[in-house]
Structure formats: structure tokens, C-alpha cells
Amino acid sequence: MGGICQPSRYVCQGHYVENNCAGAKTRQCCMPGSGAWSVLCAGHHNNRVRACDVFGCGAFNSNRGDGRHEAVDVVCEDYGIVNAPFSGTLGGLAGRAGPDGMHYDGVKLLNSEHCVKLFNIRPYRYVGPVSQGEALGYLLPLQERFSGITSHMELQLCDLSDPSPFI
């Protein structure tokens, strides 16, 4: 059907279709939404938003200890390849210091329609043109710092609006 079987407790950016997956009834078919961007994490069939875990939730505007989460956490594997969601130009380093003083690496990507910052990745380069789907870098190993967290890259629109409709 073009979807992916997964536990229904995971966030599905499209919609779930019941009774199409083998195994437990909690496994349902997540059919992709009509997002305009390509899959960000190599080896994944869709851009799956991080569900809640002991470190918080990955959806846009989720409650965080220090305020609201103004980004979306997309599930990726530690050291997994992160691809460009759209064609554009790399606009340099996108970094910030977290509450623990750690530096979260990232890169800015922009074109005439969109401007995003991708965090928790080690970019292969910080400037120049890129094509949609091109490898931008790899996911930094979050498990080393936050044992038990769902590994993810963070996607933030430059104007801090919700990127969910595009993924």
C-alpha cells in the first residue's frame, strides 16, 4: 500500500490504516501524508516524528521544561545519513548551546521558498548548493549523552513556525 507497519503509539504524519499489518493489533499501517519534502533520514520510508520518551516529545510546540519546542524531531539512527529535504543552498553553521553547555551541531538550508535549520547532525560541509535527497551529513550519537532517548535530528524553520505540513 506504500505505508509502513509500526506500533500505533508512534506519531504518523499521514494516517493509520487498520488490519493491514501482521503481528499485534497495535501495529498499524502508517500511510504517508502529502508532505512536500523528501525523506530526511536514510533507511527510513517516511519522516516519522519522535513520539514521547523519558526526555520529552518531538512534535512541534510540545511542552519542554524551559518552554515550547519550536521544531520537529525526526526519528533517525545514530550515525545515520541525513538528506536534504529540498534543493537549495547551505547557509552556514546552525549551532547553539544546550542547557548542559553542549554544542549541538547543525546546518542552515535555504531556497526561495523555505529556510530550515537541521540540528544534531555533523554536516559534510556548511556552504554551497545541494539537491533534494543529497546527503548533508550524519546524525550525531544522542545515545551517548541521553541513554534511552529516541535518536533524532531536529528540524526547525528559520521563522520558528511549524514545519510539520512539509514533512
Render pLDDT for 30-54 as a digit per residue (tens, 0 to 9). 776 555 688 899 888 788 899 888 8
What is the tally of structural domains in the chain?
2
Could you tell me if 15 and 52 lie in one domain?
no
Query: 100 is in which domain, residue-wise?
Result: 35-166
Q: What are the pLDDT digits (tens) for 107-156?
A: 999 998 899 999 999 999 999 999 999 999 999 998 888 888 999 999 99
Q: What are the pLDDT digits (tens) for 58-115?
A: 999 998 777 788 999 999 999 999 999 999 999 999 877 666 665 668 999 999 889 9
Strands (E), 18-150: 27-31, 63-64, 67-68, 72-75, 81-83, 88-93, 96-97, 103-104, 106-110, 115-119, 121-123, 127-130, 135-139
Specify whether the CB–CB gap between 139 and 151 falls below 8 A: yes
Could you tell me if 70 and 135 lie in one domain?
yes
Could you tell me if 51 and 122 lie in one domain?
yes
Could you tell me if 3 and 65 lie in one domain?
no
